[in-house]
Amino acid sequence: MLILTANAHLTNLQRIRRIETLLEDIRPNLQRDHGDVELVEVDGKSIYVKMVGACSGCQMAGTTLGGIQQHLIEGLGEFVQVLPQEELTRRKSMGA
């Protein structure tokens, strides 16, 4: 059973750096398939990423995002939602 605790002791900058470090951990797996992931925005529990290279438009992108999300949840010790950059664009256009 995974017990999640908030990282209240981290500043926003420290949290973003932690997220970037966690993405670095999984980057070699993505690059092996000629893809990659870039951190775009962190808005509370929502983490927006851009899938690039072969990962962009791949049929398995949803599965990949789920794996990235699980890795970040475990590494941060808190629930987060990893969303594609397009969702951030959509939410901004709707005024959310």
CATH of the domain at 58: 3.30.300.130
Average pLDDT over residues 54-69: 89
In a domain, 93, yes or no: no
Domain count, the chain: 1
The pLDDT value recorded for residue 56 is 83
The reply to whether 40 falls in a domain is yes
**pLDDT of the residue at 70:** 97
Q: Could you tell me if residue 3 is inside a domain? A: no
Domain that holds residue 52: 12-88
Tokens encoding 11: 């500043």
* E runs forming strands in 1-96: 35-43, 46-53, 81-84
Question: Which pLDDT score, from 0 to 100, does residue 6 have?
Answer: 52
pTM summary value:
0.85
Return all residues near 43 (Cβ < 8 A) that are at least 6 apart: 88
Residue 5 lies in a domain: no
Give the residue among 6, 65, 4, 2 at the shortest CA–CA distance from 30.
65
Better pLDDT: 18 or 96: 18
**Is 50 part of a structural domain of the chain?**
yes
Q: Which two tokens stand for residue 84?
A: 């594609």
- Number of helices (H), then strands (E), in the chain: 3, 3
Residue 51: inside a domain, yes or no? yes
Say what the pLDDT of residue 54 is: 87
Domain assignment of residue 6, yes or no: no
